[in-house]
């Protein structure tokens, strides 16, 4: 496995987050290598010991107990920054998230995702849980960019075709306000001209203070 190269497409100017992005990229590369290589038992044991030693070397660093515990450790990092970096499905600093990019405007979102072998379910294709999770996350981001945080009240996913690994998958989402508290978001996942999954969800607006988050 070759060392992780710096991401020359990383747009952040913050050296802390650039370093965290590179660290997460290296961890994803390790995950992919472990799942895509037939590792002999003896070498697997050696690697497990080496990784355990590496984890132990980080033991004395300050512990973070969830997203809110990370907020405020650096004055410039609010909850929106922290969630963008560490949320499970799409955080750039999260070691288990797929290669996901997106751009949102009020009421709509466009994005792309590429799933590596680490996300395999049916042979050669993405596990349905990840398909649903990514759709839910990006529909949630569509709702957030309407100016209101919210939580998923209901989610329906229809799997029309298997979603392939190692292909650029396009995702689009559109939101419509139902009333003062609820928003409906519809989304689709597409590989080329083929729609592989569609989804709809209801999001309920929540008070940021309920999570200990100050309003911007």
User: How sure is the predictor about 3, in pLDDT bands with cuts at 50, 70 and 90?
Assistant: very low
User: How sure is the predictor about 2, in pLDDT bands with cuts at 50, 70 and 90?
Assistant: very low
Cα–Cα dist 201/33, whole Å: 35
What is the per-residue pLDDT across 74-132, written as a single tens digit (0 to 9) for each? 988 988 899 899 998 889 999 999 999 999 888 999 999 999 999 999 999 999 999 99
DSSP symbols for 19-81:
HHHHHHHHHHHHHHHHHHS---HHHHHHHHHHHHHHHHHTTTSPP--SHHHHTTSSTT--HHH
Task: Output the pTM of the full model.
Answer: 0.87
Identify the pLDDT of residue 106.
Answer: 85
Domain edges within the chain: 11-97, 98-211
Cα–Cα dist 202/65, whole Å: 29
pLDDT at 8 over 50: no
What is the per-residue pLDDT across 13-22, written as a single tens digit (0 to 9) for each? 899 999 999 9
- The stretch 166-193 carries a mean pLDDT of 95
Q: What is the CATH number of domain 98-211?
A: 3.10.129.10
């Amino acid at each position: 496995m070759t060392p992780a190269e710096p991401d020359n497409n990383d747009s952040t100017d913050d050296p802390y987050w650039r370093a965290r992005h590179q660290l997460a990229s290296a961890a994803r590369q390790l995950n992919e290598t472990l799942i895509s290589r037939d590792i002999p038992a003896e070498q697997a044991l050696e690697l497990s010991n080496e990784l355990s030693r590496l984890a132990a070397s980080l033991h004395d660093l300050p512990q973070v107990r969830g997203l809110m515990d990370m907020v405020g450790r650096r004055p410039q990092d609010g909850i929106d920054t922290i969630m963008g970096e560490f949320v499970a499905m799409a955080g750039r600093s999260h070691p288990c998230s797929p290669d996901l990019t997106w751009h949102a405007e009020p009421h709509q979102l466009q994005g792309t995702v590429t799933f590596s072998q680490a996300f395999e379910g049916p042979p050669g294709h993405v596990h349905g849980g990840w398909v649903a999770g990514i759709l839910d996350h990006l529909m949630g981001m569509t709702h957030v960019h309407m100016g209101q945080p919210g939580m998923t009240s209901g989610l329906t996913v229809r799997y029309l075709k298997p979603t392939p690994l190692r292909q650029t998958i396009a995702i689009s989402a559109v939101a419509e306000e139902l009333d003062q508290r609820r928003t409906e978001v519809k989304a689709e996942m597409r590989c080329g001209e083929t729609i592989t999954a569609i989804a709809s969800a209801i999001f309920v607006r929540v008070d940021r203070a309920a999570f200990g988050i100050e309003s911007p």
